[in-house]
Amino acid sequence: MLNNITIGQFFPGNSLLHRMDPRAKIIGTTIFVVAIFLANTPLAYGIVAAFTIGAMLLSRLPLRLMWNAIKPLWIIIVFTMGIHIFTTPGNSIISYGIINITDNGLAMGLQMAARLVFLILFSSLLTYTTSPIRLTDGIEHLLNPFRRIGVPAHELAMMMTIALRFIPTLLDETDRIMKAQSARGADFVTGSIIQRAKNMVPLLVPLFISAFRRADELAIAMEARCYRGGVNRTRMKELSITWVDYVGLGAVFIVTAILLLLWWLG
């Protein structure tokens, strides 16, 4: 049931995005995610869509992975769109009882849904094309300047990377528990949404127990290997900025500048 969810997974490859430095990808992703919310015209959304599709093509990843990134969050996308459609004032298009759909509400709902879709797709490329080790190193390097004010850069980077890494593990565990309970007569696929939500409650206890057990096993394994964090730690592959990273960041800055200009003119 949950086998097609790919959030937090890494897919090896040799594309331009795979070869980029993780620091460049983190910075570029952060900037572009913010720039997505500057889009407010059809031209701006076209630029965002073209840049996102271009990045997807450069990653050489199967399109089904992109769909699997959106599929688990479709409820949030639809819910966000519905809030804007039914609550934004404007000229009424459809009015039936308490339901009132306006032109501004419909436009705003579609815009927010499009923003969320582009945000999910572009953010997913970061984890799809970056291994957990390189992602940890990239986050740690970016946080190193904050060490002077007491920020534990390595520990924060490690925690964020482990959290991403455990998402597919916990999804697999959830799927295994659901199959075990379904074999004992539990029903997770029929009934109303409220009923199905209630049926999911028995999953929480074994899932939390499994998550805490895995966290404890990971801590024991790290201590057994004398892991001491980032102090005097060496790396087999040092990070280095190449021309690919400059080109990628340059493209992000150019697109962001264009979107900022369109937002200001609009």
For the chain, which residues make up each domain, given as ranges?
A: 16-265
How many other CB atoms are found less than 10 A from the CB of residue 89?
9
User: pLDDT grade, residue 63 (50/70/90)?
Assistant: confident
State the Rg of the chain over Cα.
22
Residue 156 confidence (pLDDT) above 90: no
What pTM does this model have?
0.77
What is the predicted pLDDT for the residue at 31?
95
pLDDT of residue 7: 62
CB 252 within 8 A of CB 32: yes
Please state the rounded mean pLDDT for residues 43-67: 91
pLDDT band at 230 (very low <50, low <70, confident <90, very high): low
Band (235; pLDDT cuts 50, 70, 90): low
If you search the block for the tokens 């087999």, which residue do you land on? 236
CA-closest candidate to residue 109, choices 134, 77, 137, 141 = 77
The residue behind tokens 């659901």 is: 178
On whether the CB atoms of residues 187 and 27 are closer than 8 A, the answer is no
| Position 2 pLDDT exceeds 60 | no
**Spacing of C-alpha 1 from chain mean position:** 20
pLDDT score, position 26: 93
Query: What tokens appear for 19 in the block?
Result: 């070869």
State the chain's mean pLDDT as an integer.
83
In this prediction, residue 175 carries a pLDDT of: 80
47 pLDDT band, cuts 50/70/90, is very high
Residue 119: band (very low, low, confident or very high) from pLDDT cuts 50, 70, 90: very high
Better pLDDT: 219 or 190: 219
Distance (Å, whole) CA 143 – CA 39:
29
Q: What is the rounded average pLDDT of the residues 107-111? A: 88
